[in-house]
Amino acid sequence: MRGRLTILAKMLALSVRADPKVASLVGVLVVFGAGALALTALAQRWVVDAAAGEGRLAVGVVLAAVVGAAGLAAITISTHVQNNLRNDLSDRVEVLLNQEILTSASRIPTIEHLERPKYLDRLAMLRAGGASGTRALSVSCWVAVETAATLFGLGLTVFLLADVHPALSLLTLLGAAPLMLGDRGDRLVQRALDETAEAARQEQALHDLCALPGPGKEVRITGNGWELSRRARNLWASATRREVAAQVRGAAWRWAGWICFIAGLVAALGITVTMIRTGRATAGDLVLIIVLAGRLGEQIDATLDGVSRLSEAGRVGRHYLWLQDYAAAQTRDGRSAPYRLRDGIVLDDVAFTYAGTRSPALREINLRLPAGSVVGLVGVNGAGKSTLVKLLTAMYRPTSGSIFVDGVELADIDAAAWRERLSGAFQDFVTPQLPVSEAIGIGDLSRLADRPAVLAAAERGGAAELIDRLPHGLDTQLGRAFDGEELSHGQWQKLALARALMRPSPLVLVLDEPTAALDPQAEHAVFEQFAEQCAQVSANGGIVILVSHRFSTLHLADHIVVLSDGRVTEQGSHAELLASGGEYATLYLTQAKGYQ
């Protein structure tokens, strides 16, 4: 209950923030229309009674006309104007809500949550389209207000029915049967949606493999599109069967509730007719009951729909609050990052295990990375090189052990402040479909519009010649999806390298397979430029971490660390490791033979 109230209060605050005037007007219109049905029913009873001589005809007709007109006006205004204003306001609230969700997700300092199925399922349910997801949340506060107004109208209906005969008020109690039994049906549907969330996410992932241009080439050349489609179809069918079965059971509960109400309505009409025959009720009373009973179903249905939508909002809201709490728990204030490294980085008995796995990816890592050094990380695939880089860049926190930066534990340094002093190019680089200047400039947002800085980074990253060949140079739009230029994988990597070199003096520069997509000639030219960049970073006390499978690129490193099965097996200079005849020497000589 507290969670639902928190959600409603939050959505109301967002509504006021989006447009306080419209929010106030919608609230007034809801209240204004709350008693419209009762006014209309009273007006019709007065007209009938006046016409039957149950009072002064002229006064009754005039009063009934005034009251009836007011009731009809209230219904018309609340139905049209209120709905239009509310829908527009809800659209704006949904925009603000999506911004909050993305902000919360992006401010989580690590990336570990992006690999947790529980987090991904909750985020997928939040981002669901249609009447679910953020849409259900954005309208929830107004659904609550309208449901409360409907309940107020029901209260007036009870009062008017009891005025004819106290037993008739029981009709509204029977009207609660669809409400309670319908809520039970809704819970069945919601449970099914929660249980099929992962299957729905898997189906979407398989669908994307078939529909998106990136994987399209491999899917078509291997001819496995039909198999992917079959699996996606099976996942969809399985999830849909469970959801439809839950919806059928839910509908059965709702129908049971309506049968109870209809039986009560028939009994109420029978009681009223009997009272008219004995002179204890008037024809106007019968009209009143018929009008109220006829609209009572609509009121109950509106209440039932409101409760159902609030229940859906509550389900989605739990995921929203969970995300907010999770982000808050993961985010903590820390110390500022050092301006310059004096001693370096020390890893003390560091181990790391990925969530959902048992075998550690790293274990017993004890290293010292001196300030001003160029460190090479070597090892076969799966040795733990990229995981170690993620720990050093605070993308993950060690499962055990500690990382120290100039004697201060990295966990105590604000993650955002630490990353502002880092720079890097990764093997899984992004391909931002932006103008070239921005695709490079986002490597240092403070200098995004600094074209000389962008050109200098492009020169250091080996992308200057590529930019010169583009039709509009730095202003060239990238990506066919936006009617721009399409680049090869190697050309995208050159832009990624330039982006990594935008920050002039990072504390740590990570180059994770920085030339994997380049041909040997381009790789040689880039590494000649890297030598100058590494020297500049080292001179400022920074550390360059070079991860590569190509041993020819490690001549820049003055200290090489060999990883195997998550452990450091060797470390030293290139000459020292060759002389020791260990794993490094074996790998180096094996690769060298391949080039002979």
What confidence tens digit (pLDDT) does each residue in 552-583 have? Answer: 677 778 899 999 889 999 999 888 888 888 88
- When computed from its CA atoms, the radius of gyration of the chain, rounded to whole angstroms, is 34
| Amino acid 46: pLDDT | 62
Q: Tell me the average pLDDT across 50-73.
A: 55
User: Burial code of 21-46, b = ≥16 C-beta within 10 A, e = fewer?
Assistant: ebbebbbebbebbbbbbbbbbbbbbb
Q: Which two tokens stand for residue 360?
A: 């550690």
Q: Does residue 341 fall inside a structural domain?
A: no
| Whether residue 324 sits in one domain with residue 449 | no
The alpha helices in 331-432, defined as continuous H runs, are: 385-392, 415-420
The alpha helices in 517-573, defined as continuous H runs, are: 520-539
- pTM for the predicted model, two decimal places: 0.66
Asked which of 476, 505, 534 is the last residue of a domain, the reply is 505
Q: Does residue 528 fall inside a structural domain?
A: no
| Amino acid 52: pLDDT | 58
Give the distance from CA 442 to its chain's centroid.
Answer: 23
Q: Does residue 499 fall inside a structural domain?
A: yes
Q: Are 570 and 584 in contact (CB under 8 A)?
A: yes
For 499, the 3-state DSSP assignment is: helix
d(CA 52, CA 284): 9
Q: Which two tokens stand for residue 158?
A: 């009870």
- Beta sheet of 559-564, edge-to-edge order: 422-425, 508-512, 543-547, 374-378, 559-564, 567-572
Give the structural domain span for 499.
431-505
- Strand (E) or helix (H) holding 351: strand 344-352
| Amino acid 161: pLDDT | 78
Q: Does residue 550 fall inside a structural domain?
A: no
d(CA 50, CA 59): 8
Q: What is the pLDDT of residues 335-344, one digit of tens each?
A: 888 888 889 9
Q: Which of 218-222, 485-489, 518-522 has the lowest mean pLDDT?
A: 518-522
- Strand (E) or helix (H) holding 547: strand 543-547
Cα-based angle 479, 481, 485 (whole degrees, multiple of 5): 30
- The yes-or-no verdict on residue 44 having pLDDT over 80 is no
- Strand (E) or helix (H) holding 197: helix 197-211
Q: What is the pLDDT of residues 282-302, one digit of tens each?
A: 777 777 777 777 677 677 777
- The yes-or-no verdict on residue 222 having pLDDT over 70 is no
| Amino acid 452: pLDDT | 93
What is the phi/psi pair of residue 475, to 5°? -90, 5
| Amino acid 337: pLDDT | 87
| Amino acid 440: pLDDT | 93
| Whether residue 228 sits in one domain with residue 81 | yes
Asked which of 329, 351, 385 is the last residue of a domain, the reply is 329
Q: Does residue 407 fall inside a structural domain?
A: no
Q: Are 283 and 276 in contact (CB under 8 A)?
A: yes
Q: H/E/C letters for each residue in 164-189? A: HCHHHHHHHHHHHHHHHHHHHHHHHH
| Whether residue 227 sits in one domain with residue 90 | yes
- The yes-or-no verdict on residue 403 having pLDDT over 90 is yes
d(CA 285, CA 264): 17
CA distances from 350 to 354, 392, 399, 568 (A): 14, 11, 8, 11
Q: How is residue 546 annotated by DSSP?
A: E
| Amino acid 113: pLDDT | 76
- The yes-or-no verdict on residue 186 having pLDDT over 70 is yes
d(CA 586, CA 578): 8
| Whether residue 166 sits in one domain with residue 44 | yes
Closest listed residue to residue 523, CA positions, set 548, 558, 487: 548
- In this structure, which amino acid lies at residue 547? V
Closest listed residue to residue 204, CA positions, set 533, 196, 595: 196
- Strand (E) or helix (H) holding 362: strand 362-370
d(CA 411, CA 490): 36
Q: Are 393 and 424 in contact (CB under 8 A)?
A: yes
Q: Does residue 362 fall inside a structural domain?
A: no
Q: What is the pLDDT of residues 84-138, one digit of tens each?
A: 887 888 888 888 888 888 887 777 777 877 777 777 777 777 776 555 677 777 8
Q: Does residue 543 fall inside a structural domain?
A: no
Position 77 confidence tier, pLDDT thresholds 50, 70, 90: low
Closest listed residue to residue 209, CA positions, set 227, 189, 236: 227
d(CA 272, CA 420): 78
| Whether residue 465 sits in one domain with residue 316 | no
Q: Are 284 and 48 in contact (CB under 8 A)?
A: yes
Report the CATH number at residue 125. Answer: 1.20.1560.10
Q: Are 115 and 334 in contact (CB under 8 A)?
A: no
- The yes-or-no verdict on residue 58 having pLDDT over 60 is no
Between residues 221 and 346, the one the model is more confident about = 346
Between residues 269 and 91, the one the model is more confident about = 91
d(CA 378, CA 395): 20
| Whether residue 312 sits in one domain with residue 455 | no
Classify the C-alpha dihedral 212-213-217-220 as positive or negative. Answer: positive
| Amino acid 105: pLDDT | 77
Q: Total structural domains in the chain?
A: 2
d(CA 268, CA 292): 11
3-state helix, strand, coil in the chain (%, to 5): 70, 10, 20
Asked which of 283, 308, 329 is the last residue of a domain, the reply is 329
Q: Does residue 69 fall inside a structural domain?
A: yes
| Whether residue 460 sits in one domain with residue 324 | no
- In this structure, which amino acid lies at residue 322? W
Q: What is the pLDDT of residues 368-390, one digit of tens each?
A: 999 988 898 988 888 888 899 99
- The yes-or-no verdict on residue 451 having pLDDT over 90 is yes
Q: Are 7 and 140 in contact (CB under 8 A)?
A: yes
Position 239 confidence tier, pLDDT thresholds 50, 70, 90: confident
Classify the C-alpha dihedral 94-100-103-105 as positive or negative. Answer: negative
d(CA 94, CA 18): 10
Cβ neighbourhood burial of 189 (10 Å; 0-12, 13-18, 19+): buried
| Amino acid 130: pLDDT | 55
- The yes-or-no verdict on residue 475 having pLDDT over 90 is yes
| Amino acid 55: pLDDT | 47
| Whether residue 302 sits in one domain with residue 437 | no
- The yes-or-no verdict on residue 1 having pLDDT over 60 is no
Between residues 158 and 220, the one the model is more confident about = 158
d(CA 167, CA 154): 16
